[in-house]
């Protein structure tokens, strides 16, 4: 069975709670005897998942990143397809609330966007298959368990998929620094997908052309842009404010 690694306490706990059947083996750093370790190891024992205490060096050799003293080997997660997402949306009574990341390549940014998407109630995060970060162990760790709760959909042709969403009545709101409308003039209350561009370059031309509305985040200080994960959080929470209203 093919496997991948998940590390960091939040990420491992996310798999344990949401997809325990994927767990194959867990390694915990020697010297840790706190309540969190006891809770996790008891849960692993109840599931019959083998775990062992090892020196930090072994964890360092297994993964590249701040593992916080825990690494898990898990079965590869099933990737959502375009059809999976369209089927879920058509069968849901809730108006679609989606996040599209057009070419975000930094796994830290992807993980942070997933974490915020989960908190804001986003139903799925959509990215193009090419030139975009995937769910690496680093992205999963930064997502703090959200990678196991928010469907992550990689699409072959983003422009075509955006057209399919529009055909379903989803309003596409894209962010662009030169847009005349601000975030606070956009209507996020109905079926909507927020489209964020890549770090530095922003949205690609075809993606921009498929958006129904372009907006910008007001900036009153000296810097002229925000990190993409921060900008995503600002926009998603304005959308959530409106949807809760």
Q: How far apart are CA 96 and CA 222, in angstroms?
A: 36
Helices 35-47 and 9-18, interaxial angle, to 10°?
30
Binding residue per annotation — 28?
A: no
Which residues are within 8 A (CB) of 136 and not within 5 positions of it... i.e. 6 or more apart? 107
Closest CA to 49 of 33, 68, 70, 80: 70
CB 193 within 8 A of CB 96: yes
Binding residue per annotation — 173?
A: no
Binding residue per annotation — 190?
A: no
Query: H/E/C letters for each residue in the chain?
Result: CCEEEEECHHHHHHHHHHCHHHEEEEEEECCCCCHHHHHHHHHHHHHCCCEEEECHHHHHHHCCCCCCCEEEEEECCCCECHHHHHHHHHCCCCCCEEEEEECCCCHHHHHHHHHHHHHHCCCEEEEECCCCCCCCHHHHHHHCCHHHCCCEEEECCHHHHHHHHHHCCCEEEEECCCCCEEHHHCCCCCCEEEEEEECCCECCHHHHHHCCEEEECCCCCCCCCCCHHHHHHHHHHHHHHHHHC
User: Which positions make up the binding site for S-adenosyl-L-methionine?
Assistant: 197, 217, 226
User: Which positions make up the binding site?
Assistant: 197, 217, 226
């Amino acid at each position: 069975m093919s496997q991948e690694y998940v590390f960091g306490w939040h990420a491992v706990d996310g798999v344990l709670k949401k997809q325990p059947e994927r767990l194959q083996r867990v390694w915990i750093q020697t010297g840790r005897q706190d309540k969190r370790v006891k809770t996790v190891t008891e849960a692993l024992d109840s599931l019959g998942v083998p775990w062992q205490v090892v020196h930090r060096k072994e964890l360092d050799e297994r993964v590249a990143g701040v593992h916080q003293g825990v690494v898990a080997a898990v079965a590869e997660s099933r990737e959502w397809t375009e059809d999976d997402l369209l089927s879920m949306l058509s069968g849901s009574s809730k108006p679609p609330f989606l996040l599209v990341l057009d070419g975000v390549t930094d796994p830290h940014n992807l993980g942070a966007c997933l974490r915020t998407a989960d908190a804001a109630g986003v139903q799925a995060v959509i990215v193009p298959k090419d030139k975009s970060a995937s769910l690496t162990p680093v992205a999963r760790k930064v997502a703090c368990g959200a990678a196991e709760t928010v469907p992550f959909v990689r699409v072959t042709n983003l422009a075509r998929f955006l057209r399919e969403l529009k055909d379903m009545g989803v309003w596409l709101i894209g962010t662009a620094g030169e847009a005349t409308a601000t975030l606070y003039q956009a209507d996020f209350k109905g079926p909507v997908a927020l489209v964020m561009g890549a770090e530095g370059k922003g949205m690609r031309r075809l993606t921009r052309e498929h958006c129904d509305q372009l907006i910008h985040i007001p900036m009153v200080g000296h810097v002229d842009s925000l990190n993409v994960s921060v900008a995503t959080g600002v926009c998603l929470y304005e959308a959530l404010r409106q949807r809760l209203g």
